[in-house]
Amino acid sequence: MRSRTPLFRAAWVLVTLTLAALACTLQIGGEGGADVTASPPLQRPSVEILQPAEGQTLAVGQTVSVRARATSPSGVTLVELLVNNVRVNSQLPAESLNPTVVEVVMDYTPDRPGTVVLAVQAYSGQIVGVPAQRTITVLPALSPGPGGAGTAGPAPQATATIFNPVCRARVNVGGLRMRSGPGTEYDIKGNFNAGDEPLITGYADRSDGRWWQVSWLGSSYWTAAAYTTQLGNCGAIQPAVVPASPTPPPSVTPPPTQPGTTITPTPPDLFLTLLEGVSEIQLGAGGIAQANFAMQVRNGGGQNAGPFRVAVLKPDGQMDYFNVPGLAPGQTVDVPAPGGFIVVFNTPGVARILVTVDDQNVVAESNEANNQAYRDVAVNPGPATSTPPPTPELPDTSGALSAPPEAPAEGVSPLVAEPQTVPQAQAQPPAALGPISPANAGQVTEIAAMPGHGGTITGLDFNPTGALLASSSRDGTIRLWDVYLQSERLTLAGHTDRVQDVAFSPLGDQVASASLDGTVRLWDAASGAALLTLAHGAPVERTAFSPDGSRVASAGENPDAGGGLSGLTRVWDARSGVEIDSFQTFGVVTGVSFLSDNTLVIATAAKDCSLGGGEVALFEIGSSEASLTLAEGPTFDRLAFDPASGLIAASSQQDICAGNAIARVWTSGGVPMAMLDHGSNAVTGLAFNPGGALLASTAIDGAVRLWQLNTSAQVAALSAGGTVEAVAFSPDGTRLASGGAADAVLLWGVG
């Protein structure tokens, strides 16, 4: 075979001479010749990583958002995220502009533990800059860290991802336009910054892709969805009314194109950005369990991806296929739908779910190495026998836990809890703690930490004697803790999605749990046996028992959402599981409590920043309309009620999507009692001490605050070491429990 090298060299010499002659012609020119300006040379971009911080720790399955700033005098055309030298994400500048400075946000979800090097590099045309790097540590899924309980010295601990159900568009690139309509022909009203999260209020699908109608700082805009990431629960978002297209401007003859570099967008790059669901599940009495999983696929390239298929290999060997009609650059889609897909488990051990994006390789991608992802689920064996194990006695609980569990209603399959090893030592009398009061609130200190959950703790409740504490978590479980031994007593597993709330019955014999899987489950507090599953039909945020324990409420989203009514509260018979009544509300329900056996107080979220619609109102069983409205307008996030004083508390902003975070307090008759200002720290949990002299509040800054209500003064601020989402007082007021992203339940008291 003849070598091509001599021919290539000869051609190169010829081209060089030709270019040299052309350069001389351009430089010398004629006296009457036109001046010619060469295109500016492309300059190598520089990159600065703004977050995460060096050495940050997270867990397998958690998403880290990498924020970076790229700079180039000749314009930034592409920014890429690499993980251990493998490209996992990329971001184009907004609306094909090539800014000299651009900030971007790109997500990465690790699928295995270890040390990870994150690198961000930018392009100016075909010129790539030197990558900027950060090193992070990935712990095993839901791990509290290698130190564990009892290890000397601090141990690294992953902070759990906090799920925010509000439908939002996270802006991935700075300079994204706010427009008056869905298209580049509409007027520009402003620009978003990278990381902004405007609320999504509607959408429109146009020839250039999907556009979001968003609410931001009290005004409504449109922005291109291709440069955003959809966050929260957006299943209720509907197509919006598109404003009339503006009159097109007079056509302008474009200037002649100057010679320069033609930039070709990178090919499509399909990969999985989300594979979310339970990490642990227990087989039922029949040896079978099932769970719901959600996944999202993204096109991180610069060109459209045509139709392709996603294949899901389930643990039982079954293969499911989901067709995607195509993805625009930067677009993310839920597969198969926001509802996700169901996986059935029937064998104890570790079960793997393997997902392959574009399994037929019909899309020519820039990176074919990131098309697969998997999730491992720990499958625990079912109950060996139908007889629950003997339950150790607890102090002062004979009246609360001695009643035998009632048999499940006909047709309801019992799910038996995962038994835990119970310490054989007898519970010791509690330490000599005095009731927490305004006078000694400044002396409250941490007295115990009880680790065990593998996700953010979302709800807490003491039983009537104060000997047991129930906690719910986004790890999908409910745990019962022996307060005196400060140890875990039972784990209740059976929900197929995150658990948002937990409540003891007034007698302490049952526990109710609310989950995003659309159910409230009732459990026997002594044995952990599952008693009833109440099908709310949509994600449930909160649950509560009536004072006599005969009724239980499920509160959250409305599965029908008829007439724009997005919230629903159902009231059930706690013994038979029969629905007694229901109340539809304009906004999604965020809090519920029984004031009496027939009266409920319900808190709801606002629809959006323009519509409002949040409220705190009283409802009577047998009547569909509110009997008394305490407040309305902004989103009310948390709710608390003290039966002894009749006080009601709810948290919100001062106005609709504006102002400081506050906690408001009313009497059950609607008389305002206090307004407690938390500044910019959104309130995440509320609880009254017995009698209502104190209100405990938690916030995103990691503080547990105690407020004296008759003066509205803050009398203590306790540091919980991370975002706190749940707080509860013991019935005798001697203990305060808190929980959140730190995955450990903390107990506080005055020695």
CA distance 352 to 209: 35
Residue 505 above 60 pLDDT? yes
User: What is the C-alpha separation between 84 and 499, in angstroms, rounded?
Assistant: 34
Mean per-residue pLDDT, 167-185: 90
Determine the Cα angle at 538 with ends 534 and 544, to 5°.
50
The single residue listed with the structure tokens 């957006």 is 234
| CB proximity list for 313: less than 8 A, separation 6 or greater | 319, 353, 354, 355, 356
Residue 540: how many other CB atoms lie within 10 Å: 33
Give the Cα separation of 11 and 39 in Å (integer). 25
Among 142-146, 185-189, 450-454, 735-739, whose mean pLDDT is lowest? Answer: 142-146
| Single-letter code of the amino acid located at 74 | S
**Fold match between domain 46-142+159-231 and domain 434-749:** no
Overall average pLDDT of the 604-629 stretch: 90
Q: What are phi and psi of 314, to 5 degrees?
A: -90, 165
Whether the CB-CB separation of 228 and 203 falls below 8 Å is answered with no
Condensed to tens digits (0 to 9), the pLDDT of residues 300-328 reads 888 899 999 998 988 877 888 898 988 98
453 CB burial (10 A radius; 0-12, 13-18, 19+):
buried
Q: Which residue has the higher pLDDT, 382 or 589?
A: 589
Query: In terms of pLDDT, which residue wins out, 610 or 38?
Result: 610
Among the listed residues 545, 664, 547, the one whose alpha carbon sits nearest the alpha carbon of residue 615: 664
Residues forming a β-bridge with 606: none
8 A C-beta contact, residue 743 and residue 160: yes
The correct CATH number of 434-749 out of 3.40.50.2000, 3.40.50.1980, 2.130.10.10, 3.90.1150.10 is: 2.130.10.10
- According to the model, what pLDDT value does residue 577 have? 94
Q: Give buried/exposed letters for 721-751 (b at 16+ CB in 10 A, else e).
A: ebbbbbbbbbbbbbbbbbbbbbbbbbbbbbe
Residue 483 above 80 pLDDT?
yes
Q: Are residues 680 and 661 in contact, defined by beta-carbon separation less than 8 angstroms?
A: yes
pLDDT at 409: 39
| Strand-pair partners of 583 | 569
Rounded to whole angstroms, how far apart are CA atoms 502 and 514? 6
- 3-class SS of residue 399: helix
- Evaluate the omega torsion of the peptide bond into residue 52 and state whether it is cis, within 30 degrees of 0: yes
Number of Cβ atoms within 10 Å of the Cβ of 255:
6
CB atoms within 10 A of CB 652: 26
- Reading the block at residue 295, the tokens are 């996944």
* pLDDT at residue 176 greater than cutoff 70: yes
Task: Tell me whether the omega of the peptide bond preceding residue 336 falls within 30 degrees of 0, making it cis.
Answer: yes
What is the per-residue pLDDT across 42-88, written as a single tens digit (0 to 9) for each? 678 899 999 998 988 888 888 889 999 999 988 888 888 888 876 77
**Top-confidence residue, 740 or 386:** 740
pLDDT surpasses 90 at 520? yes
Residue 544: closest CA among 554, 535, 536, 534: 554
- Cα separation, 437 vs 373, whole angstroms: 52
Q: Tokens 């999907």 identify what position?
A: 210
Query: Which CB contacts under 8 angstroms, 24+ apart, belong to 717-721?
Result: 718/444, 718/446, 718/748, 720/746
Phi (first) and psi of residue 22, to 5 degrees: -60, -40
Bond into 395 cis (ω within 30): no
pLDDT at 384: 54
Residue with tokens 């409002």: 612
Distance CA 530, CA 412 (A): 10
pLDDT at residue 128 in the model: 79
The pLDDT tens digits for 255-303 are 444 444 445 677 898 988 878 778 788 888 778 888 888 888 888 888 8
- CA–CA dist 704, 723 (Å, integer): 10
Mean pLDDT of 574-583: 94
The predicted pLDDT at position 257 comes to 45
Query: Would you place residue 557 in the very low, low, confident or very high pLDDT band (cuts 50, 70, 90)?
Result: very high
Residue 77 is given by DSSP the state: -
Residues 6 or more apart whose Cβ sits within 8 Å of residue 361: 368
- pLDDT in the model for residue 200: 92
- Residue 1 clears pLDDT 80, i.e. is over it: no
Q: Which residue has the higher pLDDT, 244 or 350?
A: 244
Residue type, 691: G
Q: What letter represents residue 404's amino acid?
A: P
For 733-738, what is the mean pLDDT?
A: 94
Q: What is the CA radius of gyration of the chain?
A: 29
Q: Are the C-beta atoms of 388 and 416 separated by less than 8 Å? A: yes
Look at residue 416 and tell me whether its pLDDT is greater than 50.
no
Going by pLDDT thresholds of 50, 70 and 90, the confidence category of residue 7 is very low
Q: What is the pLDDT of residue 91?
A: 84
Mean pLDDT of the region 529-534 = 93
Going by pLDDT thresholds of 50, 70 and 90, the confidence category of residue 159 is low
Report residue 386 as tokens.
């139908």
CATH 2.60.40.10 fits 270-380, yes or no: yes
Give the tokens for residue 72.
Answer: 């180039």
Going by the DSSP 8-state scheme, the letter that residue 10 receives in this structure is: H
Whole-angstrom CA distances from 143 to 162, 236, 254, 374 are 16, 34, 60, 18
**Cβ neighbourhood burial of 11 (10 Å; 0-12, 13-18, 19+):** exposed
**Least confident segment among 354-363, 635-644, 677-686, 701-710:** 354-363
Task: DSSP letter for 36, please.
Answer: -
Whether 730 and 466 have beta carbons less than 8 Å apart is answered as yes
For the chain, the residue count is 751
pLDDT of residue 383: 67
Structure tokens at 522: 């009732």
Q: What's residue 738's pLDDT?
A: 95
Q: How many CB atoms lie within 10 A of CB 347?
A: 13
Structure tokens at 213: 């109608």
What does pLDDT average to over the chain?
Answer: 80
Checking phi first, is residue 340 left (phi over 0); if not, alpha (psi -120 to 50) or beta? left
> Which amino acid is residue 346, in one-letter code?
N
Query: Mean pLDDT lowest for which of 294-303, 416-425, 588-597, 677-686?
Result: 416-425
- What local confidence, expressed as pLDDT, does residue 313 receive? 86
Above pLDDT 90, what percent of the chain?
37
Topology of domain 46-142+159-231 in CATH is: Immunoglobulin-like (2.60.40)
Domain boundaries along the sequence of the chain: 46-142+159-231, 270-380, 434-749
231 is written with which tokens?
A: 């966050």
Q: Which is higher by pLDDT, 681 or 97?
A: 681
**Both tokens assigned to 599:** 């009266």
DSSP string, 596-644: SSSEEEEEE--S-TTT--EEEEEEETT-SSEEEEEEEES----EEEETT
**For residue 565, what are the β-bridge partners?**
none
> What is the mean pLDDT of the segment spanning 499-514?
95
Taking the C-alpha atoms of residue 223 and residue 178, their distance in angstroms, rounded to an integer, is 5
Q: DSSP characters for 553-569?
A: EEEEE-SS-GGG--EEE
Q: What is the pLDDT of residue 160?
A: 54
Please give the pLDDT value at position 628.
94
Check residue 339 and give its pLDDT: 65
Whether the CA torsion 481, 482, 486, 491 is positive or negative: it is negative
Question: If you ran DSSP here, which 8-state letter would residue 503 be given?
Answer: E
Q: What is the DSSP string of 543-602?
A: EEE-TTSSEEEEEEE-SS-GGG--EEEEEEETTT--EEEEEEESS-EEEEEESSSSEEEE
Identify the three-state secondary structure at position 711: coil
CA 636/CA 591 separation, integer angstroms: 8
Residues 458/501, Cβ–Cβ less than 8 Å = yes
Q: In what order do the strands lie in the sheet with 510-515?
A: 499-504, 510-515, 519-524, 530-535
Please determine, for residue 478, whether its predicted confidence score (pLDDT) is greater than 70: yes
